[in-house]
Structure 1
Amino acid sequence: MGIVETRRGGGAILARPPDQIFPGQIIRRLEEGQALVDCLATGSERDCSLDGKCRLKFRLIAAEQAFYADLDKHSLASIAL
C-alpha cells in the first residue's frame, strides 16, 4: 500500500509523511472483500426473507460510507499528535 517500508535487519518506518496517510485508505484495504453484513456481500447466496422490503440495508450502506468519509478527513498526523 506504500504506507510502511521495512528496513533490512529489522524495523519499519512510514513510507510517506503522516500528513499524506489517511486511516480510511488503510481500513478500506484491510476490509476489502468483507461485507459489513452478509446480505451486502457481492454474490451472496444467503436467502433473506426481507429482501425487497428491508430498509436497514440501505441505512447500513449509508453509515459505512459516512464512516469512511469521516476517516478520509483526517490524516495520520492529525490523529496521532
Structure 2
Amino acid sequence: MRLTRSSDLALRVLMALAVAQEPSTARETAAALRVPYSHLAKVVARLRHLGLVETRRGRGGGLAITGAGREVSIGGLMRELEGVGDVVDCEGDTPCPLHGGCRLRGALRRAQEAFYASLDPLTVESLTESPTGPVLLGLVGRGGRAG
C-alpha cells in the first residue's frame, strides 16, 4: 500500500504545525517541507475543511493546528484522505476476467484495512514525540517560522 503525495504531505503539515510555537504562513511551511506552495495550499484547504488546521489572515496570521488536529487518529485520517476504495481496479476500462470468482480483491481489501487499523492508535501528537519533534522544530525554525 502506498499513500498519495497529498496524504503524505497532509501528515507532514500537521506534524510541523504541531511543534511550531506560533503560526507560520503557508509559503513558509511549503519552503520548510520543500514542496510546491500550490500543492501545500490544496492540502491545507482540505485539512481546514476537516477542522484539523485553522488559517488566519493578516499580521500575526498563518497556519495553526487545532486541538482536533493534534488528536486525530492517523488511521481515520488516512481513510478520509485516501478513501476506502479497492486497492486494484477490477472493473476499469478492461475489466478483469476473474472478477466473478476472484479471492485476491477481498484479500487486498482486508490488507488495506489492516494497514489503516495499525495506524488507528497513532495521533499527530504521538508522532511528534522525540526524536521526531526536535527534527521537525529544526525544519520549521524557531517560533514556527521556516528556517
Q: 1:34 to 1:53 in 2, by over 3 A?
A: closer
Indicate the residue corresponding to 2:53 in structure 1. 4
State how far apart, in whole Å, the 2-side matches of 1:56 and 1:34 are.
Answer: 14
Q: How far does the alpha carbon of each residue in 1:55-78 deviate from its partner, in whole angstroms, 9 at most, with x for none?
A: 111110101111111111111111
| Long gaps (5+) in structure 1 | none
Superposition pairs of residues 1-81 of structure 1, within 5 angstroms: 1-9=50-58, 10-16=61-67, 18=70, 20-32=71-83, 35-39=86-90, 44=91, 46=93, 47-81=95-129
Q: 1:59 to 1:35 in 2, by over 3 A?
A: closer
RMSD, aligned CA: 2.1
- Post-superposition offset of 1:52: 2.5
Q: TM-score, normalised by structure 2?
A: 0.45
Q: TM-score, normalised by structure 1?
A: 0.75
Q: Percent identity?
A: 41
Aligned length: 76
| Long gaps (5+) in structure 2 | 1-49, 130-147
Partner secondary structure for residue 13 of structure 1: strand
Q: How far does the alpha carbon of each residue in 1:3-61 deviate from its partner, in whole angstroms, 9 at most, with x for none?
A: 0111222421111152x21222222222237542212xxxx455221122221111101
Q: Which one has a larger percent helix, Structure 1 or Structure 2?
A: 2
